[in-house]
Amino acid sequence: MAKMTIADIDVTGKKVLMRCDFNVPLDERGVITSDDRILKALPAIRTVLDGGGSLILMSHLGRPKGERNVAMSLTPVARRLSDVLGQEVLFASDCVGPDVRAKASALRQGDVLLLENLRFHKQETLKDKEAAADDQLRGAKDAFARDIAELADVYVCEAFGTAHRDNASMYTVPQMMAGKPRVAGLLLEKEIKFLSDTIANPERPFVAILGGAKVSGKIRVIENLLDKVDAIIIGGGMAYTFFKAQGRSIGKSICEKAFVGQANGLLERAREAGCEVLLPIDTVIAQDFKAHAEHRVISGDIDEGWEGVDIGPQSRALFAQKLQDAKTIVWNGPMGVFELEPFDAGTKAVAEAVAQATANGARTVVGGGDSASAIKQMGLADQVSHISTGGGASLELLEGKRFKCLDILDEKG
């Protein structure tokens, strides 16, 4: 990506507005259960503070639908950020209005201010398409964005996890800051480098592993990847739709009937493109969908009343063998119901094979969401090249989509 980053510009004495993705998971008591997204923004935050700037941080949390909701306040994030940064983080009780303006204008070099949840205002998530069809809505989104834009001298996009959304803070705010520096954060730069560049310039063999429950969510990924990769490994719930497409009985396994035809078409196109497709050759089946449910391994049809919950041991070995010589691996989606023991075994075997390939010198990229949770749960997070902080965003990049929040940032050189 030839985009300017926060490391390329002088921020001395400047107020820097940074859009982060602090949409972190909270438990029922409002305690942060993973601060990964906060920690990964620290290098960009420190770059501003060490460079003599002050920071105005903004984010969304959850989907409050345009209304103030204490359960989705960013106050826990302010506290955690303050702990990990080792300095006070000021907090504004809203993201627009007089309190924010006063606090932003009083900022001194090295100060950090976090604004309250952007999505407490409906203008934040108003789609550009809808706004384009209604002058009043367009005006409201623009006015909201202008209020935020006026707080700062520099715009930084660091919210990779939100990069696929046309939220006001992602695109309208930088539009309103035309003429001021608009740059990428360091996490954003890294995510794009690992996801886009890996697909564009892979060392071969290049293997994609796709899993997860639904084939519908992965069709565009398969379409985009089948003429770029050497092989696609398919596991997880989506495999049963492919089994169905091959005329096999799948019992009560998850299946998207509307996509059976498309699954066949994808297999056909992959064949034409010379892309090998590896489907599971055996399956762990259970009658009940719960941990330690009675289960067995089969390699043919699945009986009535039984459902596939994981890939079987022969598939694990086959997939691991394919991954062994890979030089580039992209993984999105678990191989089975990894939340329920012992049906995490297939996902674990693939995670271990990906870690082994990394140790052998492969570049390995794990998409956000479930596969990121799985690899962390298996204690292998530090044994792959990159784990994305974005679920939906990494999937859309794998689909080959462009993000307009990136297009608007300043080019290098």
Of 37, 80, 182, 244, which is the active-site residue?
A: 37
- Both structure tokens of 188: 């954003």
For Mg ion, which is the closer residue by CB, 111 or 370?
Answer: 370
- Least distance from ligand 3PG to the Cβ atom of residue 127, Å: 12
Contacts of 1 (CB under 8 A, 6+ apart): 184, 189, 192, 193, 196, 197, 406
Using alpha carbons, select from 286, 293, 292, 351 the residue that is nearest to residue 323.
Answer: 351
Q: Is 158 in the site for ligand 3PG (CB under 6 A)?
A: no
Sole window of 83-91, 159-167, 330-338, 376-384 interacting with ligand 3PG (rule: CB under 6 A): 159-167
Q: Is 21 in the site for ligand 3PG (CB under 6 A)?
A: yes
Verify whether residue 348 is a known catalytic residue: no
**Residue 270 main-chain phi, psi, to 5 deg:** -65, -45
- CA dist 242 and 211 (Å) reads 12
Q: How many residues bind ligand 3PG (CB under 6 A)?
A: 8
Q: Is 64 in the site for ligand 3PG (CB under 6 A)?
A: no
**Residue 365 main-chain phi, psi, to 5 deg:** -125, 125
DSSP classification of residue 246: T
Of 237, 369, 390, 391, which is the active-site residue?
A: 369
Binding mask 370-399 for ligand 3PG (x = CB under 6 A): ---------------------xx-------
- CA dist 171 and 393 (Å) reads 15
18 SS3 class:
strand
- CA dist 127 and 263 (Å) reads 31
Q: Is 66 in the site for Mg ion (CB under 5 A)?
A: no
Beta bridge partners of 29: none
Sole window of 187-195, 221-229, 245-253, 390-398 interacting with Mg ion (rule: CB under 5 A): 390-398
- CA dist 255 and 360 (Å) reads 36
- CA dist 1 and 298 (Å) reads 46
Q: Is 315 in the site for ligand 3PG (CB under 6 A)?
A: no
Q: Is 392 in the site for Mg ion (CB under 5 A)?
A: yes
Verify whether residue 165 is a known catalytic residue: no
Verify whether residue 37 is a known catalytic residue: yes
Sole window of 1-9, 70-78, 157-165, 347-355 interacting with ligand 3PG (rule: CB under 6 A): 157-165
Verify whether residue 369 is a known catalytic residue: yes
Sole window of 66-74, 145-153, 158-166, 199-207 interacting with ligand 3PG (rule: CB under 6 A): 158-166
Q: Listing from the earlier edge strand, what are the strands of the sheet with 363-366?
A: 276-278, 231-234, 206-210, 328-332, 363-366, 386-387
Q: Could you identify the residue written with the tokens 């520096």?
A: 181
Q: Is 165 in the site for ligand 3PG (CB under 6 A)?
A: yes
For Mg ion, which is the closer residue by CB, 164 or 244?
Answer: 164
Q: Which residues are catalytic?
A: 37, 214, 369, 392
Binding site residues, Mg ion, CB under 5 A:
392
Binding site residues, ligand 3PG, CB under 6 A:
21, 23, 63, 161-162, 165, 391-392
